[in-house]
Amino acid sequence: MTLFWLVGAVAAAAVIAWVLRPLLARKKAAPPSRAAANVAIYRDQLRELDADLAAGTLAREDYERARAELEARALRDAGQPDAPAAGPAPPALPSGRRFAWALAAAVPLAAVALYVLVGNPGAIDREAQLHASRAQVEAMVGRLEARLRENPDDVNGWKLLGRSYGVMGRYGEAAEAYAKAAVRSPRDAQLLADLADVLAMARGQSLQGEPEQLALRALEIEPGNLKALALAGSAAFERKDYAAAAKHWERMLAYVEPNSEDARSIQQNVAEARSLAGDAGKQETQKQPAKPQGGVRGTVSLSPAMKDKVSPEDTVFVFARAVEGPPMPLAVARVRVRDLPYRFALDDSMAMSPALKLSAFPKVVVTARVSKAGSAIAQPGDLQGASAPVANDAAAVNVVIDAQVR
């Protein structure tokens, strides 16, 4: 921000100096007065008379008479008021130097006012603040890590570290930090729910297995824990136990404000789970085969030109986004660079939200990104590649990681 204004000030000063140079230049000498001009003319005429007399082309009498007339005319002109000699007058400059200094002050002030009115000065501040905030968070995390090395039994410290890693998208490290806190505080329901959440994120958005068990253990300790109820319901929905999902989510309504936005969102999820549970029951009764899961399938590979920019342990996110729809990924898988080339299969079971499923959007784009920091949010220096828009059940989709995020 400071550099921007400094460069702008230097540029403005240079332009103003160039524009005002004629106004601030030293004034030219005033034109000669009429009397001074006449004196010069009389002297020239007198020299001509003297030259004619010396050359013998003018008689002495004529010389004396012409000289007397010339001196008389000079005496008459000397009695007239002085005035500038005839000739074109120089162009007048309004207010002279005062006008120049006023213009020098007005130009930059007007430019700044115009920029504030129609420009976007806040964009510079926001960008600077973003970099500053990121650096501050990383510095804070570093200090917290150092403190926990000296005091490893600090439960709250491990919780804070796990939460910080989660915000930064470093889910594997967040799970390790929460796990160390859980060992020291095994009856903390909220801690178990937080651990289940980041562990699922670290495992490619899947709640099956240990994440679901942690959520259920949290509910045994605190039956009304909202996060644990939400995770348990999502885990049941993920494995298509829609009745259990509806039951978990319905219990959440007792702990949120009626008619609130949260309540309406929960009710929508409950209604969807119940509808799917009813359809599943009808299909079971009629002995109809289950509908195929479908999804988009293909291969992710790394361009040879990018191989020297990654390490085998770098995280690779593979996700599908709707061509026309919300920006949130519809399905996500997480692997390592060492797994490339990777054959992926993205379907509804990998949805980040029950309300946003891959099958609901006809056209999708599959993107693969190598994250140096393990963050789900793209950062400068990450490597990525994307497919062209494809159908949500396309096969043999080829994604090559061949570009760097700027």
Mean pLDDT along residues 101-119: 53
Asked whether residue 132 is assigned to any structural domain, the reply reads no
Of 74 and 211, which is predicted with more confidence?
211
Of 304 and 60, which is predicted with more confidence?
304
pLDDT, tens digit (0-9, with 9 covering 90-100), for 69-96: 766 665 555 545 444 444 444 444 444 5
Domain shared by 48 and 146, yes or no = no
Q: In this predicted structure, what is the pLDDT of residue 341?
A: 92
Q: Is the pLDDT of residue 250 over 70?
A: yes
Domain shared by 178 and 147, yes or no = yes
Asked whether residue 314 is assigned to any structural domain, the reply reads yes
Domain shared by 309 and 394, yes or no = yes
Domain shared by 144 and 276, yes or no = yes
Residues 221 and 192: beta-carbon distance below 8 Å = yes
Kindly report the length of the chain. 406
Q: Out of 241, 257, 285, pick the residue that ends a domain.
A: 285
Q: Out of 266, 285, 304, pick the residue that ends a domain.
A: 285
Q: Is the pLDDT of residue 394 over 90?
A: yes
Asked whether residue 291 is assigned to any structural domain, the reply reads no
Q: How far apart, in whole angstroms, are the C-alpha atoms of residue 228 and residue 231?
A: 5
pLDDT, tens digit (0-9, with 9 covering 90-100), for 264-283: 889 888 898 898 887 655 55
Asked whether residue 129 is assigned to any structural domain, the reply reads no
Domain shared by 300 and 223, yes or no = no
Q: In this predicted structure, what is the pLDDT of residue 61?
A: 72
- At 147, which CATH number? 1.25.40.10
Mean pLDDT along residues 286-314: 79
Mean pLDDT along residues 159-184: 88
Q: What is the mean pLDDT of the chain?
A: 76
Widest pairwise Cα distance in the chain: 150
The β-bridge partners of 345 are 297
Q: Is the pLDDT of residue 21 over 90?
A: no
Q: Out of 263, 285, 307, pick the residue that ends a domain.
A: 285
Domain shared by 307 and 340, yes or no = yes
**Residue 329: in which H helix or E strand, if any?**
none
Domain shared by 168 and 114, yes or no = no
Domain shared by 318 and 225, yes or no = no
Domain shared by 211 and 114, yes or no = no
Residues 256 and 263: beta-carbon distance below 8 Å = yes
Q: In this predicted structure, what is the pLDDT of residue 332?
A: 87
Please name which of 253, 235, 255 lies closest in space to residue 245, comparing C-alpha atoms: 235
Mean pLDDT along residues 306-313: 91
Asked whether residue 86 is assigned to any structural domain, the reply reads no
* Containing structural domain, residue 356: 296-404
Domain shared by 310 and 400, yes or no = yes
Domain shared by 264 and 398, yes or no = no
Asked whether residue 303 is assigned to any structural domain, the reply reads yes
Residues 31 and 87: beta-carbon distance below 8 Å = yes
Q: Is the pLDDT of residue 387 over 90?
A: yes
Start-end of H helices in 222-327: 226-238, 242-252, 261-285
Q: In this predicted structure, what is the pLDDT of residue 17?
A: 60
Q: In this predicted structure, what is the pLDDT of residue 148?
A: 87
Domain shared by 67 and 116, yes or no = no
Q: Is the pLDDT of residue 353 over 50?
A: yes
Q: In this predicted structure, what is the pLDDT of residue 253?
A: 85
Write the DSSP symbol of residue 169.
T
Report how many domains make up the chain.
4
